[in-house]
Structure 1
Amino acid sequence: MSSDGHTGPIFRGRRRGVLLALSSPSGAGKTTLSKRLLSQNPDVVLSVSATTRKARPGEVDGQDYHFMSVEDFKARIEDGYFFEWAEVFGRFYGTPKTPVMEAVEEGRDVVFDIDWQGAQTLAEQAPEDTVRVFILPPSLALLEDRLRKRGQDSPEIIKSRMARAKDEISHWHEYDYVIVNDDFARALEKLNQILHAERLKRTRHPWLDDFVGAIMGQ
């Protein structure tokens, strides 16, 4: 008998990690939500994407993005380095494959700040591990206002982002979960609930096969 009163073998198997893909139109809050989720869950890591765009003030290479030249990025595409990649507004973005799969095998959860194309590719390549969550703004008018207040883009870029936002939102029905970010605290709570529920799925606990076999006397 074990110290907690149970008889028989005790299994402490490792679960598979969750690939949590967050998508939204620019300015809808997915980046802020993902950062807060990470701060509340130390066992969750952020997938650091590679990009050919210039670093913004305060961004750190290897922490916010892996910044690289267009030539280097294209060469890595040929080498199969990326899990998924896409071209957005003339800039390339991609997810390095090896660190993501290592994290999943080690039972760590990985959060992706990613567009609908990237989320789709991720789900195609790792269907059992990927969970897609779409973040909706309360309205397009509020979304445009948020973009203007950020002060990072010209009016022309904002116009392009709004056109892309409509295209991004049109894919909301492809996702496993949808959160309307009309209240940040409530949206964050829902995101945490999704993560914790997905961690409990039977398919993320391969050790259960041996556990059930043992208690059934096999």
Structure 2
Amino acid sequence: MEHETLTQTDIKNLREFIANKERFITKPTVHWNHDQFKTVRAMPELVIQPTTNEEAEKVVKYANDHHIPVVPRGNSTGLMGANLTIHGGISLDMVKMNKILAYEPNSLTMTVQAGIRLKDIEEFLADKPFTYMPAPAMHWATIGGNVNTNAGGLKAIKYGVTREHIRKLKVVLANGKSYVFGAKAVKSSSGYSLKDLIIGSEGTLGIVTEKSPCVFILDQKKRLMH
């Protein structure tokens, strides 16, 4: 596919989608040109930090309509270059979408935005009788990045990788529309398992904006570990 270079008209149009202009960065710094490995560097032409699904939808649709490449970015702790804008275009930096939207112990789930860090989830659950099991090495990684790479960590052998702990996803596809895949229920037989297709796709199939990870009862964890 032929990619187009951002024009001043594109920048003007895209700026209208972002309420706070501090989240619309037209002069990216080296902060956005690498991942944790730092062997390959690629500077985006524009960085946009959405805070809502609506903002992400509008940016993705515009970029798709005008053949502008978009690369989602978390906290850039990965080692595989998935967040690098090798064709220029837009870095869709998700770190401002960092809210906990719901905590539902009765269904053993919480619903969070993609940019929340594992560290923030751990701190939120610290005074509650639950924990989130996946433990990749970088605890300042965003859960959206973990979903996109199907991250594991040292607990993966015993408790599984990220895929085993995500019940539901909200994803913005290239047409700018949001779709929900999966369900908070443990068992769902409705349609194809598109949730599992999205997990590990490294942002190539859509932009994950929200997810519902499952949490485990701490007493159960202690019994399993001891």
TM-score tier by shorter-chain length is: under 0.3
Larger relative contact order, structure 1 or 2 (CA cutoff 8 Å, min sep 6): 1
State the TM-score, normalizing by the size of structure 2.
0.24
